[in-house]
Chains A and B, each alone.
Chain A
Amino acid sequence: MRAGAPWPLLRLHLRLWAAASRQWLLSIGLMPDRDAPALGYAYAAYALALGLLWIGASWGALVRLTLEFAGILPPQALALLRSGLPGLFGLLLVALAAGALVSMPLHLSGPDVQHLSGARISLRWLTGLRFAPAALAVAALTLPVGTVLAVLASGSPRHYLLAMAVLLPLAFGAYAWAWAIGLLRLSVTQAPRRALLWLIPVALLALLALHVPLLLWPGQAFAAAALAGSAQWPALLLWFVAGLLAMLWAAGHVHRSLLLDRSLRRSLLRSIDAGRRWNAPVALQQRRAAILSRRRPVLRLPQTEGLMLLPLRAALARLRYPSSLWGLWRLATILIGGVNLAVLPTQGYTWLLWLLIAFVYPPGALAEDFQADTDPQWRQLLHLPLLRLLLGDALLPGGIVLLAGAVEISFLRLGAAGTLEAILLLLGLIAATTLAQAVGAVARQGRGMPLPDVLPGAIAYALFALVGVLLHAVLIASLLLLVYSAVLAWLVADADGPHPARA
Chain B
Amino acid sequence: MEDPESLPWMERGQLTPDREPLLQATGLGYRYGAFRALRDVSLQLAPGELLALVGRNGAGKSTLLRCLAGWYQVEEGTVEQGGGQAGGPTVVLVPDTPAFYAELTAFEHLQFIAQLHGRRDWASEGRRLLEVMGLEGHERAYASSFSRGMQYKLGLAIALLSRPDVLLLDEPFGPLDALSSEALYRELRRFASEGRGVLVSAHQMPPSVAPDRYLLLEDGELLCEGTPPELRQRYGLASLSGEDLLRAALGPSAVEDE
Residues of chain A whose beta carbon lies under 8 Å from any beta carbon of chain B: 285, 288-290, 292-295, 297, 300-301, 303-307, 309-310, 313, 316-317, 320-321, 372, 375-378, 380-384, 446-448, 499-503
Contacts and interface: CB of A to CB of B under 8 A. Distances in A.
Given A500-B73, A501-B68, A305 B99 contact: no
Contacts of A295: 142
Q: On chain B, which size bracket covers the interface?
A: 35 or more
A138 B101 CA distance: 33
B144 A301 contact: no
Interface in B12-64: 23
B115 A303 contact: yes
Given A321-B102, A376-B71, A381 B92 contact: yes
Interface stretch (B106-114, B208-216, B225-233, B242-250): B106-114
A274 B98 CA distance: 21
A499 B104 contact: no
Contacts of A289: 100, 102, 142-144
Given A381-B92, A501-B81, A293 B144 contact: yes
Interface in B126-147: 140-145
B22 to A, nearest CB: 11
A502 B81 contact: yes
B142 A293 contact: yes
Interface stretch (B83-91, B176-184, B188-196): B83-91
9 contacts: A289-B100, A289-B102, A290-B144, A293-B142, A306-B118, A317-B102, A378-B101, A499-B70, A503-B79
**A303, A309, A321, A380 — most chain B CB neighbours (10 Å):** A380
Contacts of B98: 377
Contact of B115 (A305, A316, A384): A305
Contacts of B155: 377
Contacts of A303: 111, 115
A290 B102 CA distance: 8
A306 B120 CA distance: 11
Contact of A377 (B80, B93, B108, B116): B93
Contacts of B158: 381
B222 interface: no
B91 A380 contact: yes
Contacts of A501: 23, 68-70, 79, 81, 90-91
Nearest to A301: B108
Contacts of A383: 87-89, 117
A381 B167 CA distance: 12
A323 to B, nearest CB: 11
B78 A503 contact: yes
A503 B103 CA distance: 34
Nearest to A392: B116
Nearest to A310: B116
A377 B95 contact: yes
A377 B104 CA distance: 16
A497 to B, nearest CB: 10
B140 A297 contact: yes
A226 to B, nearest CB: 41
Contacts of A294: 145
B103 A316 contact: yes
Given A500-B79, A501-B79, A380 B103 contact: no
Contacts of A316: 103-104
B105 interface: yes
A297 B139 CA distance: 11
Contacts of A448: 73
B200 to A, nearest CB: 17
A235 to B, nearest CB: 46
A309 B105 CA distance: 15
B201 interface: no
B130 to A, nearest CB: 16
Nearest to B140: A297
Contacts of B74: 500
B241 interface: no
A448 B73 CA distance: 9
Contacts of B141: 297
Given A289-B102, A297-B105, A306 B144 contact: no
A301 B89 CA distance: 23
Nearest to B111: A301
Given A289-B144, A292-B142, A383-B87, A503 B112 contact: no
Contacts of B70: 376, 380, 499-502
